[in-house]
């Protein structure tokens, strides 16, 4: 059965690795966080999606906190390319989250992007979808699907093309090996270009300094960097999180509510339903 990533996967990883302390934060909010700029409105002009206000008119731009407000934004963005009316879907996305400007091949990244070609927007969404789906292929061990994705998206990223060409000269069975490497490499390279970590001191009003005042936070040039940071965190958490033996979804090891005891680290299933389904499948086998 095909294993697909859900919003819960991103939210659980965000809750587990997106903050410096070990206590669960109410409603999955991460801390610390960084923000992106969103114009009060966007419109279609020819082949571009354009902000209705200039970037220097700061009073017409608002701050959006992607890691806190939309921890599954990479997932949402990747699905845009599958919408029957992509232009409408992209405009709706931009009005809520801003423009995903600043791809891996550009030298400059604006934190308040005023315009983006629709074709560029689509290409970014297709690359995100392929990256996400390759990771899903790894979770299910679907070599054939991974090969198809590399071939279908060879124009969306040089790495897809290189792997697709290499697979033509390799025996079957290595596709998921390549898929895992690519699904990790693309988010990592985007985070390296569009994100940075900053150190700051959070003074809590005590008379004497406390080592806990020192915090490490992520900053990103734009919403594209924030989205790839979400995917990067999900991929690198692969060896540090538990997955349900039945559905392969990430099992949250955080307490169900603040102050409650954490679940056991050797927990094997999401819930009783998955446990029972797993046992039924074993009996049939």
DSSP assignments along 109-171, one per residue: --SS--EEEHHHHHHHHHHHHHHHHHHHHHHHT-HHHHHHHHHHTTTT-HHHHHHHHHHTTS-
Percent of the chain whose pLDDT exceeds 70 = 76
Q: How many domains does the chain contain in total?
A: 1
Q: Note whether residue 40 is domain-resident.
A: yes
Q: Is residue 281 part of a domain?
A: no
User: Going by C-beta distance under 8 Å and a sequence separation of 6 or more, which residues neighbour residue 205?
Assistant: none
The answer to whether residue 170 scores a pLDDT higher than 80 is yes
Average pLDDT, the chain: 81
Residue 279 is assigned to a structural domain of this protein: no
Task: Summarize pLDDT for 62-85 with one digit per residue, the tens.
Answer: 888 898 888 899 999 999 999 999
Segments forming the whole domain that contains residue 56:
7-240
Decide: pTM greater than 0.95.
Answer: no
- 284 within domain boundaries: no
Q: Are 231 and 74 in contact (CB under 8 A)?
A: yes
Integer Cα distance of 241 and 69 in angstroms: 23
Half-sphere exposure of 85 (CA within 13 A, CB side): 5
The pLDDT of residue 29 is 34
Would 271 be classed as within a structural domain? no
Q: Which two tokens stand for residue 39?
A: 């114009």
- For residues 91-117, give the mean pLDDT: 74
In a domain, 22, yes or no: yes
- The DSSP symbol for 267 reads -
Specify if 245 maps to a domain. Answer: no
Higher pLDDT, 175 or 253: 175
Residue 100 lies in a domain: yes
How far apart are the C-alpha atoms of 213 and 115, rounded to whole Å? 39
Which is more confidently placed, 240 or 151?
Answer: 151
Other Cβ atoms within 10 Å of 221 Cβ, number: 20
Most confident stretch, 169-183, 213-227, 270-284: 169-183
Task: Select the more confidently predicted residue: 246 or 218.
Answer: 218
The pLDDT-based confidence of 32 (bands split at 50, 70, 90) is very low
CB of 150 within 8 A of CB of 163? yes
Per-residue pLDDT at 105 = 41
């Amino acid at each position: 059965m095909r294993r697909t990533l859900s919003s819960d996967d991103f939210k659980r990883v965000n809750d587990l690795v997106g903050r410096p302390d070990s206590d669960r934060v109410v409603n999955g909010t991460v801390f610390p966080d960084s923000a992106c700029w969103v114009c009060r409105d966007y419109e279609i002009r020819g082949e571009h999606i354009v902000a209705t206000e200039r970037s220097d008119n700061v009073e017409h731009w608002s701050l959006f906190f992607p890691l806190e407000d939309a921890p599954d934004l990479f997932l949402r963005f990747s699905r845009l390319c599958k919408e029957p009316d992509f232009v409408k879907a992209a405009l709706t996305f931009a009005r809520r989250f801003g423009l995903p400007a600043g791809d891996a091949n550009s030298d400059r990244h604006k934190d308040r992007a005023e315009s983006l070609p629709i074709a560029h927007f689509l290409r970014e969404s297709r690359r995100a979808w392929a990256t996400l789906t390759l990771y899903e292929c790894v979770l299910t061990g679907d070599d054939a699907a991974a090969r198809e994705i590399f071939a279908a998206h060879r124009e969306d990223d040089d790495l897809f093309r290189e792997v697709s060409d290499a697979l033509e000269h390799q025996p079957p069975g290595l596709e998921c090996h390549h898929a895992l490497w690519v699904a990790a490499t693309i988010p990592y390279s985007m985070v390296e270009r569009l994100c940075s970590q900053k150190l700051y001191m959070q003074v809590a009003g005590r008379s004497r300094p406390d080592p806990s005042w020192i915090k490490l936070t992520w900053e990103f040039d734009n919403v594209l960097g924030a989205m790839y940071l979400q995917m990067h965190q999900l991929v690198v958490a692969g060896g540090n999180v538990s997955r349900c033996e039945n559905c392969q979804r990430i099992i949250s090891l955080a307490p169900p509510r603040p102050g409650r005891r954490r679940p056991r680290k050797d927990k094997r299933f999401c819930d009783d339903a998955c446990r029972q389904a797993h046992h039924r499948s074993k009996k049939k086998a």
